[in-house]
Structure 1
Amino acid sequence: VRKFYTDVPTTAQEAAAIGQMVRENTMVYGRLVSKDEKTTLVIVDLAKGRFSQDLYNRILSLAKKYQGPERIYVAGRPIVEGTMAILGPRDMARMGPLVILVITLVLFLVLRRLSRTILVLAVVLCSTLWAFGLMLAVGVPIYTVSIMIPVMLIAIGVAYGIHLYNQIDYFTRQNPNADRYSVVTNVIDVIFSPVLFTALTTMAGFISLLTSQVFPVKWFGVFSAFGVLMELILTMLLIPAGIMLFGTKKGAKSEVKKTVTGSSISNDGTKAVILEKPDGLGSRFADTVIAHPRWVILGVVVVVALSVFGLSRVWINSSFLANFEKNSDIVTTDAFINKNFGGTSTLNVIFDSSDPDTFKKPALLNLLNDAQKGVLTLDKVGDATSITDYLRRMNRVMHEDRMEFDTIPDDQNLIAQYLLLYEMSGDPDNLWKVVDSDYRGANLTVQLKSDDTQTIRRVVAYFDSYASKFAEQGVGIHYAGSGYKSMVFADLILQGQISSLWISVLIVILLVALMFKSWSLGFIAAIPVTIAMLANFGVMGLLNIPLTTSTAIISSIAVGIGVDYGIHFIERYRETLKETKDPVVSGQFSMGLTGRAVFLNAAIVIAGFMVLLFSVVLATDNFDYADRLPQGVEHPRLEVPAGAPYTVHTADLVDPVHPWRHDSA
């Protein structure tokens, strides 16, 4: 065992000799040097926990410094995470003002008064600043998912202001001569309860994220809930104070007239109030629903059926690179590596036994070799490396480089001699990355040309099919590596979201039931958001949009946000029904009055979330989540990297551990 070279070649003949050795060494050719001989890799293994923003910047500076006619690329999982650490704050700095601008314009169009717009903006901006201030005060870092906090708090907080001003306008139309104190008293008396419970249900949606096993998701839920609480408090303080300072618009001609007739008597003998139906789209929509209830129910059934069908086609994708634009540098670099080398994502398959020298047994090594060859036939698998590569290479070289000896020796003693020879002549530190020092554990590194969950699951399932055969040899199989970590991350997110969805729905039902003192109304309020949530996932399935961590997180939040509409409508309907004793009229009136506020509320929330379309990050998946996850199986004797190493120079890092980097057998 000897090195390819000790000094950089100075003549063409020396360089040609090294080139020939590379071509003849299958452990290097096509793995560290591309087969067109135009690209090579420099792989950097990082110690666990040593990656930092400073190191990230220094690596990029080195690549830029030494780049000449040759192009130098830098990539890999740590580089992706480092890029996200830069893009996250940039995204927040860019989208924050954009969200404020969009919301300001929409608010002004809706409220039609600058003072009202400023007050509502003051509520949401202060709440957002306090949420981030609390994060910094308690020492919680700002993760990539934190980008969503200001967008959501701004979109959610303005809804409270809209409902307050909607009630103010309604009251002043009915009471044009009411003084400011009367207006404030009325709005607090009428709106406080529904706004309180809508805030509580929204907070419940965020708090339900505490069921997640991923810490950044937990913190996201906690500080978003805190922001909503601050919005509730400030809304009930600042807006009434603003009314006392700035007054209200002069009451216009009453759009909704109240008359009492002696001929309108309810079933219980009480006199009913007859309300004139308000004009507007909401009222006309109510007329349509009331006139055609069967068609409405049929339409809902069709939507649910299509949603269930679409839901069955939803697929999960935890790909980190899917969060970047296809023409971004990091994606094109990754594609370049996948084209010329084995791949940038890795799966470490750990084989573990309790007996020393287990991985010197020919039968076991041949089984490992068969499994390694088989995995190479799977789609998107680029390469695989294990101790068998060493042994086959040494056996071949020891037999005059004859191809028929590119096999595992049948003699355990001969295998032991080969390994001892490498330990003495080569670099044993490299060897310990594919096998431990007492040969009880082995690491097979699989290079993948994609980091999507489907590919990783397929490879894991393949090795699981070998589990019984290895068990017969007294060997167990475990997994680690960047690819496996992505899959585990996705599973944890989704498992947490399933729990949080159920919890948020149950909390919503409970809170609404407590508010209205009716379990039936609690279930009724939960029906629209449940159908909407089902339809959302159904559309994703029908359009082949993968379920990612960001969409999973939003689903539980949507329950808390969406139920707000039902609470405001039910509250208005119940109050109106007490006066009219007529369910149809109450429905028409509630839709015409509260329906307008609900529509404007939804429009502003949509406008706030639409700003995310301008994000550099295609999805707000948190690349830092993985740092909070178990690093796969940490073998006490094997040097399995916690994440992908870097590759520099015309390529990027390939995650597999190539212990034979500079050695030639």
Structure 2
Amino acid sequence: MNVFFNFVLKKALLGLTLLLLVAVFFIAQIPDFQLDASSDSLVLEGDKNLSYYQSIKKNYGSDDYLVISYQVEDNLLAPTQLNHLKKFRQDLAKINQVKSVTTILDVPLFRSPPLSLIDLTGESISIDNGNANLALANDEFKNSPLYANNLVSKDGKTTAVLVALRDNQKFKELRESRDKMRIQRANNKLSDDQQLKLKIIEKQILKNATAQSKLQAQTIAQIRTTISRYSDKAHLFLGGLPMITTDIVAYISSDLIIFSLAVIGLMSLILAIIFKSIRWVIMPIGISIVSALIMTGVLAYLGWKVTVISSNFFSLLLVMTLSVVIHLVVRYREIAQLNPELDSNQLIKDTLSQMFKPCLFTTLTTFVAFGSLLISGIRPVIDFGWMMSIGVTIALILSFLAFPMIMSLLPKAKIEKHKTELSVTTSLAKFVEKFGHHLLVVLIIFVIGAGFGVSKLSVENRFIDYFKKDTEINQGLTLIDKKLGGTIPLEIIFDDLAEDYWFDEDLRDEIHEVHQYLDSLQETGKVLSIDTLMQLLTQANNNEALNGFFLNIIRFQLPESAKTQVLYPYLSEDNGQLRIVIRIRETNKELKRGELIDKIQRHISTNLGFKPDSFHLSGMLILYNNMLQSLFESQIETIAVVFVMIFIMFLFIFKSISLSILALIPNTLPSLFILGIMGLLNIPLDLMTITISAIAIGIGVDNAIHYIHRFKDEFKKDKDYMATMYRSHASIGLAMFYTSITVTMGFLILALSNFIPSIYFGVFTAIAMLSALLANLTLLPKLILMVKPKINP
């Protein structure tokens, strides 16, 4: 310890210079810092359904296309409107990364005029070809089994413009290789050489993904510019998964910068009000900012991307570093007031000596709390656990190096006589003394209520709920969802039936039943399958179903444009598969993904007679649901493990079983309280809010360690439990109050975000901090007074 003090005090300038060089090195890496909101961050690593989903995309094409809703006031097929749409399509097609644009102008028509079976084999009818009857086309678009509630809304005033983007084939192949190898790794089937190869591939993908994201963002910006030029004669909204991921990155970037600055500004104001000295504002804020910047540089250096889950890491590190520094400042001022004769170096030594153990222990327990995220199986969650674990370590090291170095280089702080107790903390001590038993009753009621709330928790959330109603993304998704047949795709693949389908009438009837059942569900929008083609052929055959002989003739005679629309996407001769594509309505407030998936699987196998292994459900809906269910199960299971690990650490720290148990009890409350509120308010757990539990545990435990550590020191004076409680509230209680209020106010700023998960994160983290403060200044001392545990010196 003396070597440490000699370095930080006698060679402070050298030490600070070295520290700044390290900081500058990592800060210089920040330009390489990356954000990611791709579909990779929304799926479970090693999910077996992922490889199946990739194979389906390879066979039938990607579902990652953009949808532009084109809404008019009058007649969609008026000549001036069609001319406007044609020019719009042409300008979209000129954008470099746009592969194709599909509109009502170029799709084949079957009832405009009505075609007989013989006519179907002739020239394709479309508005572009100039051979379509527009009056009949208007009716076909609104009532066709292919286009109604899909390409055109039921009222005929809204149409979809589908924009397919160019693929990067090498990037796709790399991702496919990575996903296959990850599944092998999850099953322990990779050799050491293959593990090394996987790491190389993952690094290549990270680099390529950044370039792809930038290219996609530029393309979407160009599309939006084009949309703005054509908004004079139509209401246009952009939708689709690529747009959602790009906009989420934009929201994260905005929140990261704006709200980090807002948190810094607000915390500076609060520190100025509390300490009334520029030194106690600039130094804590400066150390906190440097800590967060160093961690940002570390992420850039390691090539770790920040996702929706970890987007608030900067604000978290700001407040966690600030918490450590505020404890040092409060203790320094307290020692200085009690011992005004001490010189500056001695004051610094005493402060660090007394605060090192509790701060080290709080860092270790916070490390453990965030460590619970490492076993989730979801790469972005695992990365967030590592980020925060490394981050709190950096915060501790930087605080205990920078604080003494800066303080030793500055003149001795003039500490004016000030209250070493606060009316709030003193009032809480009096409350514990007089109404402690009532407190226990109230807390039992709260625990029962929270437990009921926890029982109602779910992970059923909707993408549309991530954005405020007045945002373009919410309005666009709502319009597409309600008018154009839903947004989130779900696919059902039937194996080894493609060839039989043309000859087996019973099979055609069964697929028709499946189609009709899916179409009847309130959660589903548009349903498309090979049965859609059968409905079109039946209409062309005077509403009589065709037999196998005629079907086999007709299917070969259909023009290529018709096959592209109604055959190839839903039947694959090469793979023997039949495919049904369902779009799920995100605006349906009753949507529960897990229940819907189970209901569909059960009905097809039990009621319709298909063997469970003869069909598979696929799509982003399945992958996202698998990820959420895994996250929910792993977090609920590991919370208990985390508390066991923290209890073991308490035993090591406090060297007392009774004190360890007492410290653990109040620190279950913040986590339980937050989860209970979410359950009672029907706020689902998602990628972002699931991490609040770990944060709440870490914060609560920090306060308990600081309080008990100080309680033990104060108890030595007179071995009076009640007097010790009052002194602890007046000393460490002060630091706990200052840090909690500062941090709470900082996180409440996130309530101003346009990104709903950020709002929930900010509000619930603030609630967790306040509840942790109250639990450790009321319930914890009450339990100590009741049990009167033996306190070792």
For the aligned pair, the TM-score class normalised by the smaller chain equals 0.7 to 0.9
Q: 1:117 aligns with which of 272, 281, 304?
A: 281
The CA distance in 1 between the partners of 2:570 and 2:279, in whole Å, is 68
Alignment-derived partner of residue 155 in structure 1: 319
- CA pair 59-214 structure 1, distance change in 2 beyond 3 A: farther
Give the superposition deviation at 1:579. 2.5
The CA distance in 2 between the partners of 1:611 and 1:165, in whole Å, is 25
The CA distance in 1 between the partners of 2:321 and 2:568, in whole Å, is 56
Alignment of 1:223-238 (within 5 A): 223-238=387-402
- Report the residue type matching 2:645 in the other structure: I
- CA pair 504-416 structure 1, distance change in 2 beyond 3 A: farther
The CA distance in 1 between the partners of 2:407 and 2:269, in whole Å, is 21
* Contact 2:366 2:698 (8 Å CA) reproduced: yes
Alignment of 1:205-354 (within 5 A): 205-250=369-414, 280-353=423-496
State the SS of the aligned residue for 1:147. coil
Alignment-derived partner of residue 648 in structure 2: 510
Give the superposition deviation at 1:160. 0.8
- CA pair 21-535 structure 1, distance change in 2 beyond 3 A: closer
Is 1:369 the counterpart of 2:512 in the alignment? Answer: yes
Alignment-derived partner of residue 629 in structure 1: none
Give the superposition deviation at 1:368. 2.6
The CA distance in 1 between the partners of 2:394 and 2:599, in whole Å, is 51
Aligned Cα root-mean-square deviation (Å) = 2.9
Alignment-derived partner of residue 97 in structure 1: 261
Alignment of 1:607-626 (within 5 A): 607-620=745-758
The CA distance in 2 between the partners of 1:3 and 1:505, in whole Å, is 71
* Contact 1:317 1:453 (8 Å CA) reproduced: no
- Report the residue type matching 1:431 in the other structure: L
State the SS of the aligned residue for 1:384. strand
* Contact 2:488 2:584 (8 Å CA) reproduced: yes
The CA distance in 2 between the partners of 1:324 and 1:304, in whole Å, is 32
* Contact 2:375 2:382 (8 Å CA) reproduced: yes
The CA distance in 2 between the partners of 1:293 and 1:448, in whole Å, is 53
The CA distance in 2 between the partners of 1:92 and 1:25, in whole Å, is 47
* Contact 1:194 1:567 (8 Å CA) reproduced: yes
The CA distance in 1 between the partners of 2:473 and 2:311, in whole Å, is 21
Give the superposition deviation at 1:70. 2.2
State the SS of the aligned residue for 2:717. helix
Give the superposition deviation at 1:17. 5.2
- Report the residue type matching 1:34 in the other structure: S
Alignment-derived partner of residue 5 in structure 1: 125
* Contact 2:422 2:730 (8 Å CA) reproduced: yes
Q: 2:155 aligns with which of 36, 39, 44?
A: 36
Larger RCO: 1 or 2 (CA < 8 Å, sep 6+): 1
Is 1:184 the counterpart of 2:348 in the alignment? Answer: yes
The CA distance in 2 between the partners of 1:42 and 1:218, in whole Å, is 38
Give the superposition deviation at 1:428. 5.2
Alignment-derived partner of residue 16 in structure 2: none
State the SS of the aligned residue for 2:146. coil
Is 1:530 the counterpart of 2:694 in the alignment? Answer: no
- Report the residue type matching 2:297 in the other structure: G
Alignment-derived partner of residue 461 in structure 1: 598
State the SS of the aligned residue for 2:236. coil
Alignment-derived partner of residue 444 in structure 1: 580
More helix by share: 2
The CA distance in 1 between the partners of 2:522 and 2:408, in whole Å, is 69
- CA pair 251-621 structure 1, distance change in 2 beyond 3 A: closer
State the SS of the aligned residue for 1:40. strand
- CA pair 455-346 structure 1, distance change in 2 beyond 3 A: farther
State the SS of the aligned residue for 2:581. strand
- Report the residue type matching 2:487 in the other structure: T
- CA pair 522-299 structure 1, distance change in 2 beyond 3 A: same
Tell me the alpha carbon deviations over residues 171-195 of structure 1, each in whole angstroms, 9 at most, x when there is no partner.
1222121111221121111100000
Is 1:539 the counterpart of 2:677 in the alignment? Answer: yes
The CA distance in 2 between the partners of 1:299 and 1:474, in whole Å, is 51
State the SS of the aligned residue for 2:235. coil
Q: 1:134 aligns with which of 278, 298, 321?
A: 298
- Report the residue type matching 2:627 in the other structure: F
- CA pair 280-7 structure 1, distance change in 2 beyond 3 A: closer
- CA pair 288-332 structure 1, distance change in 2 beyond 3 A: same
Alignment-derived partner of residue 431 in structure 1: 567
- CA pair 29-154 structure 1, distance change in 2 beyond 3 A: same
* Contact 2:671 2:697 (8 Å CA) reproduced: yes
- Report the residue type matching 1:440 in the other structure: G
Tell me the alpha carbon deviations over residues 533-580 of structure 1, each in whole angstroms, 9 at most, x when there is no partner.
111111222233332322111211221122110000000111122222
Alignment-derived partner of residue 60 in structure 1: 224
* Contact 2:141 2:151 (8 Å CA) reproduced: no
* Contact 2:605 2:611 (8 Å CA) reproduced: no
State the SS of the aligned residue for 1:145. coil
The CA distance in 2 between the partners of 1:327 and 1:293, in whole Å, is 47
* Contact 1:128 1:153 (8 Å CA) reproduced: yes
Tell me the alpha carbon deviations over residues 238-260 of structure 1, each in whole angstroms, 9 at most, x when there is no partner.
2122332335544566978xxxx
State the SS of the aligned residue for 1:283. helix
Tell me the alpha carbon deviations over residues 557-608 of structure 1, each in whole angstroms, 9 at most, x when there is no partner.
2211221100000001111222222222212221222112111111112112
Give the superposition deviation at 1:282. 2.0
TM-score under structure 2 length normalisation: 0.69
- CA pair 455-255 structure 1, distance change in 2 beyond 3 A: closer
The CA distance in 2 between the partners of 1:500 and 1:421, in whole Å, is 60
* Contact 2:459 2:629 (8 Å CA) reproduced: no
State the SS of the aligned residue for 1:590. helix
The CA distance in 1 between the partners of 2:502 and 2:287, in whole Å, is 66
Give the superposition deviation at 1:102. 0.7
Alignment of 1:373-452 (within 5 A): 373-397=516-540, 399-400=541-542, 402=543, 405=544, 411-422=547-558, 426-427=562-563, 431-438=567-574, 440-450=576-586
Tell me, which stretches of 5 or more residues in structure 1 are unaligned? 257-277, 623-665
State the SS of the aligned residue for 1:346. strand
State the SS of the aligned residue for 2:480. helix
Alignment-derived partner of residue 659 in structure 2: 521
- CA pair 166-504 structure 1, distance change in 2 beyond 3 A: same
Tell me the alpha carbon deviations over residues 353-397 of structure 1, each in whole angstroms, 9 at most, x when there is no partner.
489536753333322322221233322322211111112321331
- CA pair 285-88 structure 1, distance change in 2 beyond 3 A: closer
State the SS of the aligned residue for 1:348. strand
* Contact 1:174 1:251 (8 Å CA) reproduced: no
Give the superposition deviation at 1:82. 1.4
* Contact 1:375 1:462 (8 Å CA) reproduced: no
Q: 2:687 aligns with which of 540, 545, 549?
A: 549
* Contact 2:488 2:585 (8 Å CA) reproduced: yes
Alignment-derived partner of residue 56 in structure 2: none
- CA pair 501-620 structure 1, distance change in 2 beyond 3 A: farther
Tell me the alpha carbon deviations over residues 110-160 of structure 1, each in whole angstroms, 9 at most, x when there is no partner.
232211221111221111111111111122223233430111111111111
- Report the residue type matching 2:600 in the other structure: F
* Contact 2:499 2:573 (8 Å CA) reproduced: no
Count residues with an aligned counterpart. 593
* Contact 1:4 1:21 (8 Å CA) reproduced: no
State the SS of the aligned residue for 1:454. coil
The CA distance in 1 between the partners of 2:651 and 2:578, in whole Å, is 58
- CA pair 253-116 structure 1, distance change in 2 beyond 3 A: closer
The CA distance in 1 between the partners of 2:502 and 2:583, in whole Å, is 22
Alignment-derived partner of residue 199 in structure 1: 363
